[in-house]
């Protein structure tokens, strides 16, 4: 057999795998609803310049402060005369960039700690897990506040805070999965091939953790959106005038009786995104469980 | 017999509603069970045996229903009864025993409360009276230490004891009908033999009608009076046990018989004929004869119309259009002349000397945590010596928990050695696998037990075999694909399997890929850890044949670990019998299977269910369980269960090694003379 025939056979397999995973998603109604909501925000974030007429920060219309929704301003304006819809749309960009990014960093840390802890066991496991336990002993929001007040409010620091706060939980999950998978016979078979421990963890164990990890990732992106909002509300999020959902609630909540629109729009955005991610993750989990 | 049968099933059909529409899992099933009669329902997995049982007690689940036929219990129709009526019936008149005793008992309830529950609830008995009755029920099933067992929880009992509790529970209300769904499949042979004895005896004593479901023809031969062979949801042959074993007629029944390794046939004298293909899933049943696609006698007429049940002799029904023809033909004995022992003493490949594998027991006290207590060890393998020669197979047998798998893992280097020496091809392989050189690793490979765990679910079959080829550089990188295909062919799989994922394959196919992966590096020795235990009989034959072929072609030395003495005899040249981490008997295969024998070997042999109801079965039965390997019994480790134990000798002194000659050694106190008569 030549290499040419090999590559000729490969692509349909990938396509089949993609089709397989799509079937899993589509067979759950809950997951589809979640996916539609999430995709809505993704489209809004990507196409924000197209969907909005105003710049979220610079276009301050002093003649139209605190306005209710109108043809001009789809969701009204805030106390500085900025278009609420623009701020929500651009805010989606922030949250959909920072959320997945911080969770991804958290996953890298968590996997780097959880895999060896579960695979080797013994004192290494003890040391890693006790350190993570110590980190987990802090209430999450308190931990974020400590980190951000120490480092200062900036997008990078928000990512650092959320990844440090999320890593212990991920490490625990990865460790538990590793403990189970390392006893499987294909891991023994890899050892009988002379594979190194690192290779076994990367090639034999990690790929088989992907189901629960994907679900966990989605849930955590939801929580991250929620926490980024909370930090913004506490004034520890992104420095103004960056459009930020949490920041919008914070700016608007004192004047809510006079003008509820900025607050309603921002909270509505957070709520729908988090619910969408949760539904998607739940549906996926249910469907992958049934699949097994 | 003119009496009304206890259970009479007529033209039963069971269907399931699925996403794809209605699927018929069972069709045209008819049988009768009279008082004191045991009907065996046999067939491969996926044949609808359990579905028949569940339809009788209406446990089909929310999407299953009886779509046709009658289920008459003592002449009364059960179909269409209300859930309430059926529930009462199930408690009082119909009882069921399940396959997994562990999951059938509630681990958070004491045995006595679980047993008493039905008496207290269904019959309104007082708790004390119920307990007394339960004790009696446990006595009836010969439970040792009844008072103790009553106050224990299910996880504190052994598998055999749990199954006894379940049988006692089923027998509590003296049911008219007892349904047993593979009650001994999860048990060790020795325990299975004792449970089968019990089932046979209860039938004699209480005249209970029994529906006995099993995939094991040997087991059914021992307990059943009548046998119904099921295939893909239909009964294909129905006759008395004697008739069916003397004159198996349907090609499927014949196929099942021919793929069984025979515990009485030496290596090389039998050919196992596997049934090709697999049971069709219920939604893809062929239009004509359901067995036609797998039948070697298939004719064109077989594809047209369902064959009816033909009566080939009185009470012997066969669903095959050529039944009369087959009935006249006795089963073609697939025997062959064993190859002459060609070479004198082939070179030794593996020489393991006094191997010890201990696992530390975790400390339970605070003192232990601070190192103030002596560490205790599970002595899984304790001083075992074996040698394996080129081109030959060493079989290792024993009950579960005797350390045979640990020995295998120790030899290949997956478990660290605690003591002793292992010499492989002249190289010292005492060190664990991480420290062995790649050239040593490639020569010593392993086939694993669990077909579902042996392959990584994330990669295709071809990629996993190719991985080994690349790692060991067996072939130049340009030829990897061709070599994988060659290996797949060697294990009787075709090229299309290259891109299959493990979940798209059956257990037997996965196991064969496991073999292909093990022989990819062209090893000098392959250790097979229970390679066929998890497979259906028809599939076992195919896997065993592949192993034999690999050995003949490459002169590979093999170790076959199994609790199945028939499989070991089919494939082994030498056999070692292990008990509690020690070898009690070792020698050439033929010597092990004939006298003189160690009492333990004799008991194992007596316990093997043979597919021949006319055979007088010997009655050496072991009681109890394998003791803990943390505190092995003093003296001879087997003395706690040995029926021939000599007080004052066996429990004090280490037994001597008796050399019978020709490499046959028995470790026992009994005089050699007596060992000759244990296994006549």
pLDDT per residue over B403-446, tens digit each? 888 899 899 888 888 888 899 988 888 888 888 888 888 889 99
Q: Which of the listed ranges A104-108, A286-290, B618-622 does the model predict with the highest average pLDDT?
A: A104-108
| ipTM of the shown complex | 0.80
d(CA A86, CA B116): 71
Give the residue from B328, B343, B367 where a domain finishes: B328
**For position A75, what pLDDT does the model report?**
78
The string of DSSP codes covering B470-529 is: HHHT-S-GGGHHHHHHHHHHHTT--GGGGG--GGGS-HHHHHHHHHHHHHTT--SEEEEE
**For position A4, what pLDDT does the model report?**
41
The partner residue sitting opposite A189, judged by closest CB among B448, B485, B498, is B448
Closest CA to B581 of B375, B407, B387, B386: B407
* Count: domains in chain B: 2
Q: Binning pLDDT at 50, 70 and 90, where does residue A1 land?
A: very low
**SS in 3 state form for A41-107?**
HHHHHHCHHHHCCCCCCCCCCCCCCCCCCCCCCCCCECCCCCEHHHHHHHHHHHHHHHHHHHHHHHH
Instruction: Name chain B contacts of A1, Cβ cutoff 8 Å.
Output: 479, 481-482, 485
d(CA A250, CA A262): 10
Whether the full predicted model's pTM is greater than 0.80, yes or no, is: yes
d(CA B607, CA B577): 15
Q: Evaluate whether B636 touches B669 at the Cβ level (below 8 Å).
A: yes
Which structural domain range is residue B256 located in? Answer: 7-82+178-191+206-328
Share of chain A above pLDDT 70, in %: 92
Share of chain B above pLDDT 70, in %: 94
- Determine how β-strand B38-42 pairs with β-strand B64-73: unpaired
**For position B493, what pLDDT does the model report?**
85
- Check residues B332 and A211 and name the one with the higher pLDDT: A211
Say yes or no to pLDDT of A2 above 60.
no
Contact B460 A192 (CB under 8 A): no
pLDDT tens per residue across span A14-27:
667 677 777 777 77
d(CA B463, CA B468): 9
Say yes or no to pLDDT of A289 above 70.
no
Q: Is A214 on the interface with B (CB under 8 A)?
A: no
Q: Binning pLDDT at 50, 70 and 90, where does residue B368 land?
A: low
Contact A186 B482 (CB under 8 A): no
3-state secondary structure (DSSP) of residue B575: strand
Give the residue from B263, B297, B328 where a domain finishes: B328
In a domain, B196, yes or no: no
3-state secondary structure (DSSP) of residue B448: coil
Q: Binning pLDDT at 50, 70 and 90, where does residue A5 land?
A: very low
B401 Cβ contact partners less than 8 Å away, ≥ 6 residues apart? B580, B626, B629
**For position A175, what pLDDT does the model report?**
95
Contact A186 B453 (CB under 8 A): yes
- Determine how β-strand B419-424 pairs with β-strand B427-428: antiparallel
Q: Which of the listed ranges B482-496, B532-546, B614-628 does the model predict with the highest average pLDDT?
A: B482-496
Phi, then psi, of B39 in degrees rounded to 5: -105, 125
Contact A192 B412 (CB under 8 A): yes
Contact A188 B448 (CB under 8 A): yes
Say yes or no to pLDDT of B1 above 50.
no
**For position B557, what pLDDT does the model report?**
92
What six digits make up the tokens of B382? 């304790």
pLDDT tens per residue across span A99-146:
899 999 999 999 999 999 999 988 899 999 999 999 889 888 888 889
**For position A11, what pLDDT does the model report?**
47
Phi, then psi, of B41 in degrees rounded to 5: -115, 110
Least confident piece of the model among A7-21, B245-259, B517-531, B532-546: A7-21
**For position A6, what pLDDT does the model report?**
42
Say yes or no to pLDDT of B200 above 70.
yes
In a domain, B150, yes or no: no
DSSP structure class, residue A253: H
Q: Evaluate whether A147 touches A161 at the Cβ level (below 8 Å).
A: yes
Q: Binning pLDDT at 50, 70 and 90, where does residue B477 land?
A: confident
**For position B332, what pLDDT does the model report?**
60
Please state the rounded mean pLDDT for residues B96-121: 85
d(CA B460, CA B2): 59
Contact B481 A5 (CB under 8 A): yes
Please state the rounded mean pLDDT for residues B194-208: 85
d(CA B680, CA B675): 10
d(CA B381, CA B416): 11
The partner residue sitting opposite B414, judged by closest CB among A13, A188, A194, is A188
In a domain, B250, yes or no: yes
What does each C-alpha distance from B308 to A211, B231, B286, B320, B344 come to in angstroms?
A: 49, 14, 15, 7, 57
**For position B679, what pLDDT does the model report?**
54
- Check residues B545 and B680 and name the one with the higher pLDDT: B545
Domains and CATH numbers, chain A: 26-291 (1.10.3720.10)
pLDDT tens per residue across span B291-321:
888 888 888 778 777 888 888 888 888 888 8
Instruction: Name chain A contacts of B515, Cβ cutoff 8 Å.
Output: none
Q: Where are the alpha helices (DSSP H) in B58-151?
A: 83-92, 101-104, 111-123, 127-140, 146-150
- Determine how β-strand B209-214 pairs with β-strand B657-661: unpaired
Q: Binning pLDDT at 50, 70 and 90, where does residue A153 land?
A: confident
A24 Cβ contact partners less than 8 Å away, ≥ 6 residues apart? A284, A287, A288, A291
Mean pLDDT of chain B: 84
In a domain, B504, yes or no: no
Distance of CA B472 to the CA centre of its chain: 35
In a domain, B71, yes or no: yes
Which A positions 108-127 lie with beta carbon below 8 A of chain B? none
Phi, then psi, of B226 in degrees rounded to 5: -125, 155
The partner residue sitting opposite B454, judged by closest CB among A1, A9, A185, is A185
Q: Binning pLDDT at 50, 70 and 90, where does residue A51 land?
A: confident
Task: Count Cα neighbours of B612 within 13 Å in the Cβ-side half-sphere.
Answer: 11
In a domain, B643, yes or no: yes
In Å, how far is B481's CA from the nearest CA of chain A? 6
Give the residue from B328, B343, B364 where a domain finishes: B328
A-B Cβ pairs (cutoff 8 Å, strict): 64
- Check residues B194 and B587 and name the one with the higher pLDDT: B587
d(CA B311, CA B331): 19
The partner residue sitting opposite A207, judged by closest CB among B436, B445, B458, is B458
The string of DSSP codes covering B314-359 is: TTEEE--TTHHHHHHSPP---B-PPPP--SSSPPEEEEEEEEEEEE
Contact A5 B456 (CB under 8 A): no
**For position B388, what pLDDT does the model report?**
92
d(CA B216, CA B222): 10
Mean pLDDT of chain A: 84
Q: Binning pLDDT at 50, 70 and 90, where does residue A177 land?
A: very high
Q: Is A4 on the interface with B (CB under 8 A)?
A: no
CATH of the domain at B224: 3.40.50.300
d(CA B253, CA B245): 9
Closest CA to B43 of B195, B236, B184: B236
Q: Is A58 on the interface with B (CB under 8 A)?
A: no
Contact B433 A208 (CB under 8 A): no
d(CA A252, CA A77): 11
């Amino acid at each position: 057999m030549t290499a040419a025939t090999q590559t000729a056979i490969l692509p349909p397999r990938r396509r089949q795998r993609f089709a397989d995973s799509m079937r899993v998603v589509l067979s759950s109604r809950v997951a589809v609803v979640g996916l539609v909501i999430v995709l809505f925000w993704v489209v809004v974030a990507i196409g924000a310049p197209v969907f909005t007429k105003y710049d979220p920060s610079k276009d301050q219309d002093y003649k139209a402060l605190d306005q209710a929704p109108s043809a001009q301003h789809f969701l009204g304006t805030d106390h500085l005369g900025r278009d609420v819809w623009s701020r929500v749309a651009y805010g989606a960009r922030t949250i959909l960039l920072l959320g997945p990014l911080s969770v991804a960093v958290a996953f890298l840390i968590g996997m780097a700690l959880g895999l060896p802890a579960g695979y080797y066991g013994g004192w290494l496991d003890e040391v890693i897990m006790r350190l993570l336990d110590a980190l987990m002993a802090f209430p999450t929001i308190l931990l974020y506040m400590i980190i951000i007040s120490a480092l200062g409010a900036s997008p990078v620091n928000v990512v650092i805070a959320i990844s440090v706060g999320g890593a212990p939980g991920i490490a625990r999950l990865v460790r538990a999965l590793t403990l189970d998978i390392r006893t499987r016979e294909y891991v023994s078979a890899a050892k009988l091939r002379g594979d190194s421990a690192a290779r076994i963890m990367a090639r034999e164990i990690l790929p088989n953790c992907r189901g629960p990890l994907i679900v966990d990732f989605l849930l955590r992106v939801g929580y991250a959106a929620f926490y980024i909002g909370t930090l913004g509300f506490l004034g520890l999020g992104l420095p103004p005038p960056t459009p930020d959902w949490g920041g919008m609630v914070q700016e608007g909540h004192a004047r809510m009786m006079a003008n509820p629109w900025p607050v309603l729009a921002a909270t509505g955005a957070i709520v729908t995104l988090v619910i969408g991610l949760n539904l998607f993750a739940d549906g996926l989990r249910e469907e992958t469980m049934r699949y097994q | 017999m003119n009496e009304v049968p206890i259970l009479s099933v007529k033209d039963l059909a069971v269907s399931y509603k699925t996403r794809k529409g209605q699927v018929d899992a069972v069709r045209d099933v008819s049988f009768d069970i009279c008082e004191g009669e045991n009907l065996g329902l046999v067939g491969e997995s996926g044949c609808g045996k359990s579905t028949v049982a569940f339809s009788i007690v209406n446990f089909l689940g929310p999407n299953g229903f009886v779509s046709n036929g009658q289920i008459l219990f003592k002449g009364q129709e059960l179909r269409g009864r209300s859930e309430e009526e059926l529930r009462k019936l199930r408690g009082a008149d119909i009882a069921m025993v399940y396959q997994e005793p562990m999951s059938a008992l509630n681990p958070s309830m004491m045995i006595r409360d679980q047993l008493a529950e039905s008496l207290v609830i269904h019959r309104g008995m007082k708790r004390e009276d119920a307990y007394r009755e339960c004790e009696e029920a446990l006595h009836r099933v010969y439970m040792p230490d009844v008072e103790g067992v009553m106050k224990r929880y299910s996880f504190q009992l052994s598998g055999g004891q749990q199954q006894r509790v379940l049988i006692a529970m089923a027998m509590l209300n003296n049911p008219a009908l007892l349904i047993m769904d593979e009650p001994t499949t999860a048990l060790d042979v020795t325990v299975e033999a004792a449970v089968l004895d019990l089932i046979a005896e209860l039938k004699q004593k209480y005249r209970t009608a029994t529906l006995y479901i099993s995939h094991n023809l040997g087991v059914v031969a021992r307990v059943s009076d009548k046998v119904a062979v099921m295939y893909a949801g239909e009964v294909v042959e129905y006759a008395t046990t004697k008739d069916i074993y003397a004159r198996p007629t349907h090609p499927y029944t014949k196929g099942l018989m021919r793929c069984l390794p025979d515990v009485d046939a030496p290596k090389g004298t039998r050919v196992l004929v596997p049934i090709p293909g697999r049971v069709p899933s219920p939604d893809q049943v062929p239009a004509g004869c359901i067995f036609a696609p797998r039948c070697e006698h298939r004719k064109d007429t077989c594809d047209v119309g369902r064959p009816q049940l033909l009566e080939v002799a009185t009470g012997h029904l066969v669903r095959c259009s050529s039944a009369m023809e087959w009935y006249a033909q006795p089963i073609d004995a697939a025997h062959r002349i064993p190859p002459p022992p060609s070479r004198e003493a082939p070179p030794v490949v593996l020489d393991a000397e006094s191997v010890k594998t201990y696992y530390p027991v975790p400390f339970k006290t605070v003192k232990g945590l601070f190192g103030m207590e002596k560490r205790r060890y599970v002595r899984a393998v304790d001083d075992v010596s074996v040698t394996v020669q080129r081109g030959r197979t060493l079989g290792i047998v024993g009950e579960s928990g005797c350390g045979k798998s640990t020995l295998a893992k120790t030899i290949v280097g997956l478990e660290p050695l605690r003591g002793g020496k292992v010499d492989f091809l002249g190289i010292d392989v005492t060190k664990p696998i991480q420290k062995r050189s790649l050239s040593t690793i490639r020569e010593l490979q392993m086939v694993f037990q669990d077909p579902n765990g042996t392959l990584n679910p994330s990669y295709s079959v071809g990629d996993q075999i190719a991985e080994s080829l690349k790692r060991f550089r067996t072939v130049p990188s340009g030829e990897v694909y061709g070599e994988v295909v060659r290996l797949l062919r060697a294990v009787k799989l075709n090229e299309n399997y290259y891109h299959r994922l493990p979940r798209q394959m059956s257990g037997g196919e996965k196991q064969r890929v496991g073999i292909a992966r093990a022989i990819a590096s062209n090893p000098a020795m392959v250790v097979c850890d229970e390679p066929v235990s998890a497979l259906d009989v028809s599939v076992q034959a195919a896997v065993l044949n592949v192993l034999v072929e690999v050995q003949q072609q490459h002169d590979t030395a093999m170790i076959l670990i199994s609790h199945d003495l028939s499989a070991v005899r089919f494939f082994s040249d030498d056999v070692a019998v292990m008990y509690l981490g020690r070898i009690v008997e070792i020698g050439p295969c033929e010597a092990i299977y004939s006298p003189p024998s160690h009492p333990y070997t004799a008991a194992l042999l007596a316990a093997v269910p043979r597919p021949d109801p006319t055979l007088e079965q010997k009655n050496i039965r072991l009681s109890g369980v394998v003791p803990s390997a943390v505190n092995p019994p003093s003296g001879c480790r087997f003395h706690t269960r040995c029926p021939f134990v000599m007080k004052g000798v066996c429990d004090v002194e280490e037994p001597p090694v008796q050399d019978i000659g020709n490499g046959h050694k028995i470790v026992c106190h009994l005089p050699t003379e007596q060992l000759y008569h244990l296994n006549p």
